[in-house]
Homo-oligomer: A and B are copies of this chain.
């Protein structure tokens, strides 16, 4: 079966206090969401609706917000800082972003992106009478590889990791690749239609087999004790 990824259009600029789940429900109607679909929502609209915004008039203000938002710092080089966020994610600048916000403001990560995903999921499920998964995404750099990709920072209605342990391969041997980060693959796939400069804040993905369940995006964080690259 093929997978289809649809941009969710027509949401416009989101302001603090906006009812994002309601905005998403209206924007989803033309796409006829169905059981098992995956709704991917970019972090920026979630943060804006939740008021996760700070003022930062200068570069120094921005740096201060980054330091305040970071739970720990892994590396520094010049103005760049690789941080651990309060949720435990590793990313640049504690996820504090200056793009697509009014001058003098910066957007923080949502306090609890799993909970944000959960609220959106419940509203969409109730409205359309279906069961879906919701992923909140942000754009992160990686060790070793150039360029950024979207990853999951919040999930609801799914397990973010597809566990294939015990699955036989085509020759009847056990698979070596046993844990697929399917929520991150869905996040990356959605980025193909959301785009950074397009103003499209969400995507609906149809046709994916994913493990349903009560997962958390923090399940995607490698435990620091077994992480060789901290």
Could you tell me which A residues sit within 8 Å of B by CB distance? Answer: 1-7, 13, 74-75, 77, 82, 89-90, 97-103, 139, 142-151, 160-162, 164, 167-171, 173-177, 179-182, 184-186, 188-189, 191-193, 196-197, 199, 208, 219-222, 227-230
Contacts and interface: CB of A to CB of B under 8 A. Distances in A.
A145 B197 contact: no
Contact of A184 (B145, B177, B179, B227): B145
Given A176-B98, A180-B191, A192-B3, A160 B144 contact: no
Contacts of A74: 228
Contacts of A77: 228
5 pairs of A and B residues whose beta carbons are closest in the complex:
A147-B181, A189-B189, A188-B188, A143-B229, A143-B143
Nearest to A151: B145
Contacts of A89: 144
A150 B171 CA distance: 21
Given A3-B192, A169-B196, A185-B150, A144 B102 contact: no
B99 A177 contact: yes
B180 A196 contact: yes
A150 B188 CA distance: 11
B148 A177 contact: yes
Contact of A192 (B147, B161, B168, B185): B185
B90 A193 contact: no
Contacts of A175: 99-100, 196-197
Nearest to A138: B177
Interface-central residue, A149, A173, A182, A208, by most chain B CB under 10 Å: A149
A170 B5 contact: no
B196 A164 contact: yes
Contacts of A5: 2-5, 189
